[in-house]
């Protein structure tokens, strides 16, 4: 399944047969212990929880990417609920949340306010926050406010500045076969080839840098059952036609000055074939007081899907360091 197919399908609780649990136990957590629609600015957001919010260890909330993705991206992270509550949610106009379709809602401050509305509704007084890709933008903006509730921050393959993202995209495109590069260039020109030809070239980029391995069957079943799909209206309006062309409202986004304002312990987490390169991640880490970098081998941008065991191990180690002693 390529990125468009994956983001065109995602869904709700469906337990996998025992045979599907051989490679990961995440399927055992696919049913939420609690789910609700939480009022947020502009509508209601779908929120699901595995684990006990009143447990000793602070919960982790995971912010999906896109813009326009869904909580389905974090299914491989659900085994973290063995240790602490895991909060997943869909941003407004995404996934199972309300879909007012109002572009006035598609601004960074509203997405940050949405996160805080969820924390308040759940009565959480301390939590770890992880933002992936565009979700990293929301997490960055939230952390820069220095909220007292923030135990630690994880910026996973984050969009910190569009300029840096585009520079990395150019670097990664140059690593593709010459024929694929030529096709991508032609597709961005005044007389592009046929759509299937361009789609195949874009998919070649995604197959190298977005996700290396297909989703397990149980995760595909979860996605398909609820029909979660990429909210193309948000993605196109805020970002653009694909991962390496920014033509939307985020085209000039630059959150790098915010990094120095972060006071919570911060982990940058990427795959070694991520859309965020190691060079960029090291530079961003250096701009963030006391930050740490973890690079997971044999993983692309969807690190949690490519290397779920290493991903979970890295997060468990990191979160333990920010837990009460």
Q: Which residues are catalytic?
A: 133, 274, 301
In angstroms, rounded to a whole number, what is the distance separating the alpha carbons of residues 133 and 65?
5
Residue of 244, 248, 288, 253 lying closest to 269 (CA atoms): 288
Residues 6+ away with beta carbon under 8 Å from 181: 173, 174
Mention every residue, 6+ apart, whose C-beta is less than 8 A from residue 46. 35, 36, 37, 38, 71, 89, 90, 95, 96, 97
Task: Write phi, then psi, for 52 (nearest 5 degrees).
Answer: -100, 115
Rg (CA), the chain: 19
Q: Could you give the angle at which helices 178-187 and 195-209 cross, rounded to 10 degrees?
A: 130
How long a stretch of residues is the chain?
325
What values do phi and psi take at 254, rounded to 5?
A: -145, 100
* Cβ atoms within 10 Å of 154's Cβ, excluding its own: 27
Query: Quick one: which H or E segment has residue 304?
Result: helix 303-306
Q: Are 204 and 210 in contact (CB under 8 A)?
A: no
Contact (Cβ atoms closer than 8 angstroms) between residue 89 and residue 47? yes
Rounded to the nearest angstrom, the gap between the alpha carbon of residue 323 and the centroid of all alpha carbons in its chain is 23
| Residue whose structure tokens are 């069957």 | 217
Cis peptide before 68 (omega within 30 of 0): no
Structure tokens at 266: 């911060």
User: Residues 6 or more apart from 8 whose CB is under 8 A from it?
Assistant: 229, 230
């Amino acid at each position: 399944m390529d990125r468009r197919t994956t983001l065109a399908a995602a869904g709700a609780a469906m337990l996998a047969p025992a045979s599907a649990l051989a490679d990961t136990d995440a399927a055992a957590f696919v049913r939420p212990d609690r789910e609700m629609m939480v009022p947020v600015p502009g509508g209601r957001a779908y929120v699901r929880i595995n684990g006990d919010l009143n447990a000793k260890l602070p919960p982790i909330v995971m912010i999906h990417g896109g813009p326009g993705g869904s909580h389905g991206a974090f299914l491989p992270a659900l085994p973290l609920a063995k240790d602490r509550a895991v909060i997943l949610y869909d941003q407004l106009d995404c996934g199972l949340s309300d879909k007012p379709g109002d572009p006035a809602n598609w601004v960074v401050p509203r997405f940050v306010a949405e996160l805080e509305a969820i924390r308040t509704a759940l009565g959480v007084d301390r939590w770890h926050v992880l933002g992936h890709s565009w979700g990293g933008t929301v997490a960055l903006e939230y952390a820069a406010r220095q909220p007292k509730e923030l135990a630690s921050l994880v910026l996973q393959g984050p969009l910190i500045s569009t300029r840096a993202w585009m520079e990395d995209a150019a670097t990664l495109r140059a690593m593709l076969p010459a024929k694929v590069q030529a096709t991508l260039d032609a597709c961005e020109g005044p007389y592009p080839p046929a759509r299937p030809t361009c789609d195949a070239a874009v998919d070649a980029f995604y197959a190298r840098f977005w996700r290396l391995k297909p989703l397990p069957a149980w995760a595909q079943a979860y996605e398909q059952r609820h029909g979660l799909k990429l909210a193309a209206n948000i993605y196109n309006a805020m970002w653009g036609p694909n991962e390496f062309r920014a033509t939307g409202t985020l085209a000039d986004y630059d959150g790098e000055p915010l990094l120095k304002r972060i006071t919570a312990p911060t982990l940058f987490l990427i795959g070694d074939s991520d859309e965020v390169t190691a060079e960029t991640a090291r530079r961003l880490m250096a701009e963030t007081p006391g930050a740490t970098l973890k690079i997971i081998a044999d993983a692309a941008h969807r690190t949690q899907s490519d290397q779920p065991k290493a991903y979970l191990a890295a997060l468990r180690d990191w979160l333990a360091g920010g837990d009460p002693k």
